[in-house]
Structure 1
Amino acid sequence: MIYIFSLLLFTNALAQEADTAHTLDDLQLEADTTGFNALDVDDMLNPIFSDQMDSMMSSWDIQNRFHFDNSEVRTLDYPKNLPDSVYINRFKEIEQVVDLSYNSVVNNYIKMYTEKRRDLVEVMLGLSAYYFPIFEETLDKYDMPLEIKYLAIIESALNPTARSRVGANGLWQFMYGTARNMKLEITSFVDERRDPIKATDAAARYLTKLHDIYGDWHLAIAAYNCGPGNVNRAIRRSGGKRNYWEIYYRLPRETRGYVPAFIAATYTFEYYKEHNLVPRFPEIELSVDTVMVNDYLHFDQVSAKLHIEKEQLRALNPMYRRDVIPAKANKPYPLVLPNDVILDFVDQDTAIFAFERNKYFPNNTLMDPTSSNSSYFTPVDIKGKAKVVYTVKAGDNVGFISSWFHVRTSDLRYWNNINRDIIRVGQKLAIYVPEKDKEKYEQVASMSFAEKQASIGKSSTPNTTRTTKPLDPNFEYYTVRKGDTLWDIAQKYAGISADEIMRLNELKNDRGLYIGQKLKIKRKG
């Protein structure tokens, strides 16, 4: 029997690895040498958050599931250098239970969200329209402050498959041990840390326990990030002080920015309109329902019979590690589908389950999963495949390359031992393609970026400016580096605005930038 439940969308967002994880209790603590008023503000803008955002914007999910229309005009006219009084008054207007302290550290994170990482914030704003109702319903269930929903912004940037360098996973970045203690299922086939509904329920229960211990939301939030042991030691070494800002320097370094970033995220999502931020929505079906299945089912079976892309099934069902739903009659599992195919599934359920049944489930049993260094995918079998070597070029990323060769990003990482999607120009990547298509894919290396994008039906507008032009001696030139925005570049030149750089270089927005690009800068004087 199949039971149908209405469910608001949860989708796979953004790519790849959130590094604001629940770190181990034995992290190195630094001595408290100064009071809060003397904090080094530059040190507080933790590079972990910045690196995470750079990685997210270049990820496969962002580039392929969100539509960035380069013909549309995205305003670069937004408020900058607002006086402290504006922020203070706005914070006062936010209905809050969690103390939203404002200081120079929080101000730096606000600028990161509202000025330096606007594209990613707009993506998260779009995703929040679907995730936040799930979060709010759960928080209300446990009588918790609704603003705790913004914690997921810091944890995972609303990416349900985010995995940190220390193994934390999902929207709420649970470590394995904590997740099991909170009764989340983690098997070779299922990881409920990546289930938005169940993981949110576990996060709410865990945060409630931490608040019961400390009686303070700042300390509970800090303990959620670095573990109660680190917070307890910070309290003890500060002589029993229980104010977050007073134990600030006794916390692990990456936790210091955690609460300020949470406060800044709360402000940003409450006042995004005042900063001319516009939500962006993913280019996948947003109206979905859930069916409960009670027998083994492979995504390939659903994809073949309902003509829905497997990547979309993965996006809507991030909790299944190996494209397999290991359901049984006495243990059903959910399958999230777009509304326009949900009735087709109900009508064709017998045919779907029977499709090539013995191929996917011989003798109606689960096949042993392929072992892989704690990866959450089964690598494709390279037997019968032809090896193609591709040399990384400026502007390439893992998502683009996997799309050009029609392989999974997870396989590309596995074949080449790629960690955190970091690749370098000149690096040679091994890619395994069908033997009959080897000659075709060998030609990819000689294609221009525009030709490669055209081969998969994608626009090459962001990169059409890559033709080399002679430098004009009447201008200065700036070479774009990783993470640069027009705002960042303008700050390097007195009297030059981001709008001026944009007009001079015929750019419509930050997405016209690429690493190595030379931008004209008007000479002054």
Structure 2
Amino acid sequence: MRKGLGILVVLVSFTIQNVFAKRIEKAAIKRIRTIEVVALDSVQGYQKKYVTPDENLNDIFAEKIDSLVNSWYMRNVFDRPERIENQDSIPIVSLPDSIYIERLQAIDSYVDLSFNKTVKNFIELYTQRRRDQVEMMLGLAGYYFPIFEEELDRLDMPLELKYMAIIESALNPAARSRANAVGLWQFMYGTGKMYKLEIGTFVDERRDPVKSTKAAARYLNDLYRIYKNWHLVIAAYNCGPGNVNKAIRRSGGARDYWSIYYRLPRETRGYVPAFIAAAYVMTNYEKHNLQPRYPDFPIVADTMMVNSYLHFKQVAEITQVPIEVLRALNPQYRMDIIPAKADKPYVLKIPIETVADFIDNEEEIYAFKRDEFFPNNSIINPQSRSTYYPTDIKGKDKVIYTVKSGDNLGFISEWYHVGVSDLRYWNNIHRNLIRVGQKLSIYVPAGQADFYADVNRMSFSDKQAFKKKTPVTKAGSTSQQVTKSGEFVYYTVRRGENLWSIARKFPGVSNNDIIRWNDINNGKKIFPGQKLKIKPRS
């Protein structure tokens, strides 16, 4: 989103648009439950109104959606995806246009949900090409959508604007674009400051779900005062009012999105169709056999006011809330530190069931290792951002182990061939205390997740025998399965592998590269013993 043009541009744009408005007839732009259809097949009762937008812009948004799975934040609030595979190779099964139109018409929407081939391409991207990522977004929506809806309702704005965050960030509060737009609503630094978001060393409120939503709603309201058309507002949110104004001028003063469509930047041309497709899939996901995958942090949380310096580790040690949960609920704190003072309090979100424990032990929490975290009651020598990019897990596979009766950290470390100190660090364990049913995050070398996949289901005696087995390391497993011939190597597929897991063993190689090099038509149908041609990146 390129929104750094500032409020000055917004005000100038307002004047320009008033000039345009005098030159054209005033028309009813807002229609409730009306769909302007640019149909690809014959649908009785609908009339073609515009030149049909017929572009496939999926590449822009597919990359953004894919970044959801690949980000450190999402890998740590979700278990490892069950089917991240060569999705682009899956054949598309198209439904008749009339079905999509009927389903769009059934959505109660104040924002027009137009239909055309570009919209259809995005619907198929969401429902077929990127099913895993969409299921993750469906799960995250249960936490974030109520936040969005409350603020939109407070300002009497269409609640369906909540779907914009799907297009902006794929509901990843830690998202950062190539242009350095940050957060759920992808604010640039200047626009964030303009809308009073704090952006500093310890706090970045562009990542704060509540405050960034308030800022985004105000920005959308400012844009609506200019355009009085939600499609144009959505477009301007993406590319800035200046680009929308130029498109209007070049289109002879037309004030309809589809009329200025081909005058807009390429990404913005896909923005409104992607928004409409998001509204479709978030409403009709069950009809496409999509199921929400919920994040591994509490959906129900409460807010505590913090009036003094506080480190996440202080809270985690006393309340036994995993530090990863605190980070997931409070993504705005960049270094696990809340720099609160009596005259400048901050909020801390914690699981609802922990509130009483926090209140009862508040003094102990603040006092715990106070001199270690805040010598002389000051913040000094802050750690680098290891909270989101810890060096000890970089490039490793994450596996989850559920603690059983009789387990201890010594046993678990032997079964997974990791250090006890690593287990403590990864799971914020104090004094080796673990409880039955607790889920432990364990990081093993890349390519070894399949080797450890069955440990969770083994009996104690089987696990004791398993610890004597030599783990298949990334280098070992790859070298044993790779033969070289010229610029290519030939990799022998093992049982349980897919193109996504194989690609991870070769830095810089994607599953789509493997598909292209081997002329694979259906990436789901690779088999053990098959030899794949791969060109390693230098």
| TM-score range normalised by the length of the shorter chain | 0.5 to 0.7
- Taking the aligned partners of 2:318 and 2:533, their CA distance within structure 1 comes to 43
Structure 1's 456 and 363: CA in aligned 2 closer, same or farther, altered over 3 A? farther
Q: Which amino acid aligns with 1:449?
A: G
Correspondence list, 1:67-106, <5 A? 67=79, 80-106=93-119
Q: Are 2:48 and 1:48 equivalent residues in the alignment?
A: no
Q: Are 2:336 and 1:331 equivalent residues in the alignment?
A: no
TM-fit CA distance, 1:362: 1.9
Residue 407 of structure 2 corresponds to none
TM-fit CA distance, 1:147: 0.6
Residue 401 of structure 1 corresponds to 396
5+ unaligned residues in a row in structure 2: which ranges? 10-48, 84-89, 400-417, 423-442, 458-470, 482-490, 494-498, 504-508
Q: Which amino acid aligns with 2:339?
A: P
Q: Deviations over 1:108-128 (max 9, x none)?
A: 001100010000000100110
Q: Are 2:308 and 1:295 equivalent residues in the alignment?
A: yes
- Taking the aligned partners of 1:470 and 1:256, their CA distance within structure 2 comes to 43
Q: Deviations over 1:108-165 (max 9, x none)?
A: 0011000100000001001101111111111110011111010000011111111111
2:198 and 2:205 in contact (8 A); partners too:
yes
TM-score normalised to the size of structure 1?
A: 0.67
- Taking the aligned partners of 1:446 and 1:146, their CA distance within structure 2 comes to 43
TM-fit CA distance, 1:454: 3.6
Deviates more, 1:254-263 or 1:178-187: 178-187
- Taking the aligned partners of 1:181 and 1:155, their CA distance within structure 2 comes to 19
Residue 149 of structure 2 corresponds to 136
- Taking the aligned partners of 1:132 and 1:317, their CA distance within structure 2 comes to 16
Q: Which amino acid aligns with 2:297?
A: I
Residue 341 of structure 1 corresponds to 354
Deviates more, 1:94-103 or 1:187-196: 187-196
TM-fit CA distance, 1:450: 2.3
Q: Are 2:107 and 1:112 equivalent residues in the alignment?
A: no
- Taking the aligned partners of 1:216 and 1:515, their CA distance within structure 2 comes to 52
Residue 510 of structure 2 corresponds to 482
- Taking the aligned partners of 1:378 and 1:134, their CA distance within structure 2 comes to 24
Q: Which amino acid aligns with 2:266?
A: R
* Match among 448, 451, 458 for residue 450 of structure 1: 448
Specify the SS of the correspondent of 1:291: strand
Residue 235 of structure 2 corresponds to 222
- Taking the aligned partners of 1:223 and 1:403, their CA distance within structure 2 comes to 40
- Taking the aligned partners of 1:121 and 1:488, their CA distance within structure 2 comes to 25
Specify the SS of the correspondent of 1:450: coil
Q: Which amino acid aligns with 2:107?
A: I
Q: Are 2:253 and 1:258 equivalent residues in the alignment?
A: no
Specify the SS of the correspondent of 1:107: helix
Structure 1's 158 and 94: CA in aligned 2 closer, same or farther, altered over 3 A? same
Q: Are 2:355 and 1:360 equivalent residues in the alignment?
A: no
1:207 and 1:220 in contact (8 A); partners too:
yes
Q: Which amino acid aligns with 1:104?
A: K
Correspondence list, 1:171-210, <5 A? 171-210=184-223
1:23 and 1:166 in contact (8 A); partners too:
no
Q: Which amino acid aligns with 1:41?
A: E
Specify the SS of the correspondent of 2:349: strand
Structure 1's 379 and 446: CA in aligned 2 closer, same or farther, altered over 3 A? closer
Structure 1's 350 and 114: CA in aligned 2 closer, same or farther, altered over 3 A? same
1:21 and 1:164 in contact (8 A); partners too:
no
Q: Deviations over 1:461-515 (max 9, x none)?
A: xx9x9995979xxxxx999873659x999x975xxxx7xx757849xxxxxxx99
- Taking the aligned partners of 1:289 and 1:145, their CA distance within structure 2 comes to 26
Q: Which amino acid aligns with 1:401?
A: K
- Taking the aligned partners of 2:283 and 2:197, their CA distance within structure 1 comes to 31
- Taking the aligned partners of 1:78 and 1:166, their CA distance within structure 2 comes to 33
Structure possessing the higher radius of gyration over alpha carbons: 2
1:193 and 1:319 in contact (8 A); partners too:
yes
- Taking the aligned partners of 1:109 and 1:366, their CA distance within structure 2 comes to 47
2:396 and 2:445 in contact (8 A); partners too:
no
2:52 and 2:117 in contact (8 A); partners too:
no
Q: Deviations over 1:399-435 (max 9, x none)?
A: 542869xxxxxxxxxxxxxxxxxxxxxxxxxxxx99x
TM-fit CA distance, 1:199: 1.0
Q: Which amino acid aligns with 1:243?
A: D
1:59 and 1:399 in contact (8 A); partners too:
no
Q: Deviations over 1:184-206 (max 9, x none)?
A: 22222111111111111111111
Specify the SS of the correspondent of 1:121: helix
Structure 1's 446 and 234: CA in aligned 2 closer, same or farther, altered over 3 A? closer
TM-score normalised to the size of structure 2?
A: 0.66
Deviates more, 1:332-341 or 1:129-138: 332-341
Specify the SS of the correspondent of 1:266: helix
2:395 and 2:445 in contact (8 A); partners too:
no
5+ unaligned residues in a row in structure 1: which ranges? 1-19, 27-34, 72-76, 383-387, 389-397, 405-432, 438-444, 472-476, 507-513, 518-525
Structure 1's 160 and 63: CA in aligned 2 closer, same or farther, altered over 3 A? closer
Deviates more, 1:355-364 or 1:148-157: 355-364
Q: Are 2:70 and 1:58 equivalent residues in the alignment?
A: yes
2:54 and 2:117 in contact (8 A); partners too:
no
- Taking the aligned partners of 1:137 and 1:203, their CA distance within structure 2 comes to 13
1:79 and 1:275 in contact (8 A); partners too:
no
Specify the SS of the correspondent of 1:244: coil
- Taking the aligned partners of 2:65 and 2:389, their CA distance within structure 1 comes to 27
- Taking the aligned partners of 1:315 and 1:200, their CA distance within structure 2 comes to 17
Q: Are 2:297 and 1:284 equivalent residues in the alignment?
A: yes
- Taking the aligned partners of 2:148 and 2:389, their CA distance within structure 1 comes to 33
- Taking the aligned partners of 2:80 and 2:389, their CA distance within structure 1 comes to 31
Number of matched residues?
409
1:231 and 1:251 in contact (8 A); partners too:
yes
Residue 151 of structure 1 corresponds to 164
Q: Which amino acid aligns with 1:102?
A: F
